Amino acid sequence: MSNSQSQHKKKEEKIFNKGPGLFPEISKEAKDLLNKGYIEDDVFSSSTRNNIRVSLTTVVKHGRHSTSNIAASYKNATVGIKIDSKSQTFSSAVENGRLSNSNIAAKYAYKNATVDVNVDSKSNLSATIGFRGQFLPSTKTTATLKLPAYSSSKVQTPNLSIMLEFQYLYKHNALVTSLVLSQSPSVSLTATIGNPTMAFRMKAVCKTGHGFTKYDAGIHLANPNCNASIILANKCDLLKASYVHRFHQPVKIAVGAEITRRFSTKENTFTVTGSCKVDQMTILTAWVNNHGKLNTLLLHKIRHKFSLSISSEFDTKALDKVPRIGLALALML
């Protein structure tokens, strides 16, 4: 057995020794093939190291400067700034003499605890404190405080929202329960039974005065080379089925398909997607659906410090329309 095959096998064993995962992990690979990295995404990311690291990202959508991100990290702390703009010029993030929108985020991790703080230019404040294994092994407890902006029309007390969440992850089951304390309190429950190769998942949300506002269920099947899932969501109105198959030789290729059926409108959508890792620096991704929409994505890294993403969207049923083009640049200093 070659070294590459041996490393691939160890990676598979590491992945499939985990528990069954949570509800959002159903069809995650298909979602990534369809959505990850495209112009609608925030392609910016930063990870901490033992020295100072600065990351800069700018995104252009349809020829206009849309977003800019800058982040700095040192050891366990990360601080990031995000600016959104509708300015017609690439270098400006100001519209009509004022900032269109901005966001500042900070994160600090120490042992099993993490603290996240997020503030934007509209005075929205969000703070999250999380603890892993603090009370019981295989558990995670988080508390989130959200303080939206004051109304500009009249002086009033801001709408305070507090969310308490408890996660329990084990070999053959996972449980997440959360309580939201706001003007409209709600309770949600997510449960998973199974293992990484087969898992049944369900999620329900109940609001006071409204009853159950959401209940979803799904099944997930997986092996080292492929995975499939079926989800019934939106109060049994949406049925979604997806399948992804991976090929590792001679190059890494992933192909997938997704079918959705909305019963209330009798609308069907069939999407085919694929991704090819051309080399260590270049990845090509594309998807097309039965409505004629075609999306493509090119991700290219240069010397591990600079990355370029180019995405496009075509309407094959309206070729006279100008395609939508997105450009993202990321620089690690």
- Long-range own/partner contacts, residues 202-207 (CB < 8 A, 24 or more apart): 202/23, 203/23
Query: Band of the pLDDT at 82, cuts 50, 70, 90?
Result: low
Q: What is the pLDDT of residue 330?
A: 73
CATH of the domain at 191: 2.40.160.10
Output the six-digit token pair for 82.
């995000």
The residue that leads in pLDDT, 13 or 116, is 116
In the predicted model, is pLDDT for residue 43 greater than 70? no
Would you place residue 262 in the very low, low, confident or very high pLDDT band (cuts 50, 70, 90)? very high
* Whole-number percent of the chain with pLDDT over 70: 68
**Dihedral of CA 141/106/306/91: which sign?**
positive
Q: Distance of CA 257 to CAs 12, 280, 317, Å?
A: 23, 25, 21
* Tens digit of each residue's pLDDT (9 = 90 or more) over 149-204: 444 444 455 678 899 999 888 888 889 999 999 888 999 999 999 888 899 999 99
| pLDDT exceeds cutoff 80 at 14 | no
Contact 134, 142 (CB under 8 A): no
pLDDT digit string (tens) for 134-150?
Answer: 667 778 899 988 887 44
pLDDT (0 to 100) of residue 112: 85
- Please report the pLDDT score of residue 180 as a whole number: 92
Where is pLDDT greater, at 62 or 300? 300
- Residue 250 has, within 13 A of its CA and on its CB side, a CA count of 1
For the chain, percent of residues with pLDDT exceeding 90: 29
Residue 137 belongs to a domain:
yes
272 — pLDDT class (breaks 50, 70, 90): very high
Highest mean pLDDT among 87-91, 264-268, 278-282, 318-322: 264-268
| Residue found by looking up tokens 């408890």 in the block | 166
Please state the length of the chain: 333
Q: Where are the beta strands (DSSP E) in 91-237?
A: 94-95, 98-99, 101-110, 113-120, 125-132, 139-147, 161-169, 173-181, 186-195, 198-207, 211-223, 226-233
What confidence tier does 205 reach under pLDDT thresholds 50, 70, 90?
A: very high
Q: Write down the pLDDT at residue 12.
A: 40
The verdict on residue 14 lying in a domain is no
Residue 124 resides in a domain: yes
Q: Does the pLDDT at position 88 exceed 50?
A: no
Contact 190, 176 (CB under 8 A): yes
**Pairwise pLDDT comparison (99 vs 277), residue with the higher score:** 277
Tell me which range, 27-41, 99-113, 257-271, 274-288, is most confidently predicted by mean pLDDT: 257-271
- Range 85-97 average pLDDT: 35
Q: Identify the residue with better confidence: 191 or 77.
A: 191
Q: Would residue 247 count as lying in a domain?
A: yes
- 8 has a pLDDT exceeding 50: no
Q: What is the pLDDT of residue 78?
A: 65
Closest CA to 73 of 105, 41, 103: 105
Range of the domain at 105: 19-332
Q: Is residue 63 part of a domain?
A: yes
Residue 83 lies in a domain: yes
Q: Residue 238: what pLDDT?
A: 95
310 part of a folded domain: yes
Of the listed ranges 69-73, 95-99, 152-156, 315-319, the one predicted with least confidence: 95-99
**Are 145 and 126 within 8 A, CB to CB?**
yes
How many structural domains does the chain have? 1
pLDDT of residue 296: 92
Predicted pLDDT of residue 305: 72
Between 288 and 311, residue with greater pLDDT: 288
